[in-house]
Amino acid sequence: MLKNGFVSQTKMPKPKHSKVRTIANTTQTYAKIISDTPGRLRLRVAQRHRKLEQIQPLVNALQEHGNINQVRMNLDQGSITINHEGEDSWKNVMVTLKDLGIIFGDIVEVHTDAAIAVSNPVIDLNQRVKQATDGQLDIRVLFPFGLGCLAIRQLIIKGLQFDIIPWYVLAWYAFDSFIKLHGTNRLEPTSDS
């Protein structure tokens, strides 16, 4: 049943070792594991694969799996949530997903030429800094550290006053940028355009 972009399907109990039927002409679908907790696995499907005619056969095939209790799909967000029987069934579910043509990895959404033009020089500079410091430092560490130093400077000079740029704002930027800058990869233009 489709409601607000969600498709929720609960299946009737099936034998524990039921075989999953194969999807004719299985196409490869790129996805990333967003959440993996005992008994629940959530995937994010790449933007170009978020079509009902491509995802629905996957959902239907997963419903036939003996270790899967429920499959929910949000087509707008590209999310597939799989409730399974726990840690023992996780390996079986992963094998089934791979058999159905799911390829796991970092999925890169479509980036504009402007985003690529800005991001790639920064990534190149980061590589040069990393090489110059023998891998000890990179921009993802130096930038938050610099903002942290500015925060301490503002705290020493201005105290706890609420001036133009308070120390706590710079401290927050130092923390936030450190968290956000870890895990960046070089962006490549997509061939879909």
pLDDT value of residue 15: 41
Domain of 158?
Answer: 113-181
Q: How far is CA 11 from the centre of its chain?
A: 28
- Spans in the chain with pLDDT lower than 50: 1-25, 192-193
Express each pLDDT in 39-59 by its tens digit.
Answer: 888 888 888 888 888 888 888
pLDDT value of residue 140: 81
Mean pLDDT for the chain overall: 75
Domain annotation covers residue 80 = yes
Say whether both 34 and 63 belong to one domain.
Answer: yes
Residue 161 makes CB contacts below 8 A (sequence gap 6+) with none
- The predicted model scores a pTM of 0.45
Q: State which amino acid sits at residue 182.
A: H
pLDDT value of residue 3: 45
Domain annotation covers residue 98 = yes
Express each pLDDT in 64-83 by its tens digit.
Answer: 888 788 899 888 888 898 88
pLDDT value of residue 172: 86
Q: Which of 125, 165, 174, 173 shows the shortest CA–CA distance to 145?
A: 174
In the chain, the number of structural domains is 2
**Which one of 104, 129, 147 terminates a domain?**
104
**Which one of 79, 104, 129 terminates a domain?**
104
